[in-house]
Structure 1
């Protein structure tokens, strides 16, 4: 109700104000033989206070004035006239009017003060998040930049005689630093696209098996000390997905697994076609494409699982570095394709990310007809 009234135009707020006072007054009209008019006055004051919580100030003032007039017209004798016979009733009516106005203004100001306080708190929270991001970026960007600059400086020094092996090593370090830098910039650009609502999936037939091996090839340096296991059925059909978004989803999950698991850890990637999997969704929707990325690392603390997809969130016990954008981008890119993403920790240790898409399917034996 609150959101509905807040999105109502000014004119409609006046109408709502008049209708509220009118309806309540008509209801009280049937009880004026049993209730003293002072009690009805208190109840009308309560109504004005409730309206002040939701409406703009002028609509509330209208309710206060209207309540005072109705109080006089319907509930103070003589009925159906604005004439007041006794000084006591005149004073009562005047006090009712003043209290209603003061009550309306004070309630409205309290509401505005609360809104300003919440807005200020939200702004401070946002600033804290962005400061966290900048602090992270100062590390995440400075390290590869320093690597590249140092390698370039060494290569440019004419007095330094490098062996072929060291020359190749420096070029390799520059390449890895460039890829790391590019990954961070891509994450920032992707988050910007998500926040602006610019993400519009371009659905086309995707060979998810080929996509997975492309990601693994791009991350071969990060995965050099990990064990990789890929489980994909030979008969896997083509899925209609956004290739670029899906590739970034798998890339971020595998990259995170490589960064936050110890050397020698196992990273498993499994792709399934199972049109009967529904993951207990509220809507009756069939998820045809299922992607599971699991590891045998430390997993996630149970109390933090619901927070890991939040923007800028990093685990309390995680190592330094990282921007906290990778998993929030995963969630955004999955939902942009009407999919779902789930995270759970294995009892024996490790994390399991499950992604499901309601993708259209084409069996590979019909490719020639496309």
Structure 2
């Protein structure tokens, strides 16, 4: 069935896309007075997701646009107008459109990966990879969206009187869910950049100690039940690296540790510079920036350590969700800066990631002369 639809003429795919959205919309119109428009939004999102499995990217994007317009025009009051009166409805429609687009674009990318892997791996493994990613995305994207929509629905209920404290809690939950959604979208965009070869590091002087504290602060909610430690000399040199890439690297490693370690575990980031002649590339000063991110959790299964940097790979017996992109992005960003990354388990329990970068260094006392 998939093969037949994928090889259908482009015009026929557009027709299938339009008819699918139209039929579901007409059916929903019959029960518009019975169900809420949020339910209609979920149904249209399912239609777009199904079309993304079978059709090319442009027909899927057309379905996403038509679904958003139909939802706004026919199901969000006032009816038969594209005007939206409440900010909550505007946010809901915007989130619906974003998720529909992400679903279409990402599913199309996965299909391309599937076609490439047919020449290298068995079809069974390819389909398993496809299923795993879709399952994880279903959880990782749907959960924060459901939180946001649920909070909006509660705030909209005029019959329910909410205290200022409760309103503040709901808004806080919406903020957390939005940040989680943003993190997933950032990972997807970063993976696209890596695959396209678009990464071009912009080297500048970085205070990695300050950057690490910034990452810890941005993950304060995820780390509230963990102990965090930063080990670095007070006179730690500045390193000429890409600040944005380094922030994403440390963020993903610390975030990953917060997910896969028990409450009360310690997450430690250690930064130092040392002589290292293993690298072929060196600037004026033959120094290497070494960063270790470690924890005292349960570590990684020994037979899976070599796979954790693979795209879309998730630990076999992990209960935690995720798209399996975080560590592969870390490796890509490290290598884009001519660095190396290794992972091993600690003898007394826990894991340790070691990152090494050849980089120019500058003593902080020389900042004024730079």
TM-score range, shorter chain: 0.5 to 0.7
Following superposition, the deviation at residue 261 of structure 1 comes to 0.4
Q: 2 CA distance for matches of 1:169 and 1:237?
A: 42
Matched with 2:236 is 236
Matched with 1:86 is none
Q: What secondary structure, in the 3-state scheme, does the structure 1 residue paired with 2:167 have?
A: helix
Q: Contact (CA 8 Å) 1:201, 1:337: kept in 2 or not? A: yes
Following superposition, the deviation at residue 321 of structure 1 comes to 1.2
Q: Please say if 1:224 is aligned against 2:206.
A: no
Q: 2 CA distance for matches of 1:121 and 1:232?
A: 44
Matched with 1:161 is 161
Give the 3 Å change call, closer, same or farther, for CA 160–137 of structure 1 in structure 2.
same
Following superposition, the deviation at residue 202 of structure 1 comes to 0.7
Matched with 2:188 is 188
Note the 1:109-258 alignment, pairs <5 A. 119=119, 121=121, 125-258=125-258
Q: Contact (CA 8 Å) 1:287, 1:356: kept in 2 or not? A: no
Following superposition, the deviation at residue 315 of structure 1 comes to 1.1
Matched with 2:14 is none
Q: TM-score, normalised by structure 2?
A: 0.65
Bigger mean CA deviation after superposition, 125-134 or 319-328: 125-134
Matched with 1:347 is 347
Q: Which runs of 5+ in 2 are unaligned?
A: 1-115
Give the 3 Å change call, closer, same or farther, for CA 156–123 of structure 1 in structure 2.
same
Q: 2 CA distance for matches of 1:198 and 1:124?
A: 31
Q: What secondary structure, in the 3-state scheme, does the structure 2 residue paired with 1:225 have?
A: coil
Q: 1 CA distance for matches of 2:117 and 2:233?
A: 56
Q: Which string of whole-angstrom CA distances, capped at 9 and with x for unpartnered residues, describes residues 113-169 of structure 1?
A: xxx996284666444323321110000010000000000111111211111211111
Matched with 1:302 is 302
Following superposition, the deviation at residue 316 of structure 1 comes to 1.4
Please identify runs of 4+ aligned residues in structure 1 that moved more than 3 A: 120-128, 281-287
Give the 3 Å change call, closer, same or farther, for CA 126–228 of structure 1 in structure 2.
same
Note the 1:22-33 alignment, pairs <5 A. none
Q: Which string of whole-angstrom CA distances, capped at 9 and with x for unpartnered residues, describes residues 50-97 of structure 1?
A: xxxxxxxxxxxxxxxxxxxxxxxxxxxxxxxxxxxxxxxxxxxxxxxx
Q: 1 CA distance for matches of 2:183 and 2:304?
A: 25
Following superposition, the deviation at residue 277 of structure 1 comes to 3.6
Q: Contact (CA 8 Å) 2:342, 2:354: kept in 1 or not? A: yes
Q: What secondary structure, in the 3-state scheme, does the structure 2 residue paired with 1:119 have?
A: coil
Give the 3 Å change call, closer, same or farther, for CA 145–337 of structure 1 in structure 2.
same
Q: TM-score, normalised by structure 1?
A: 0.65
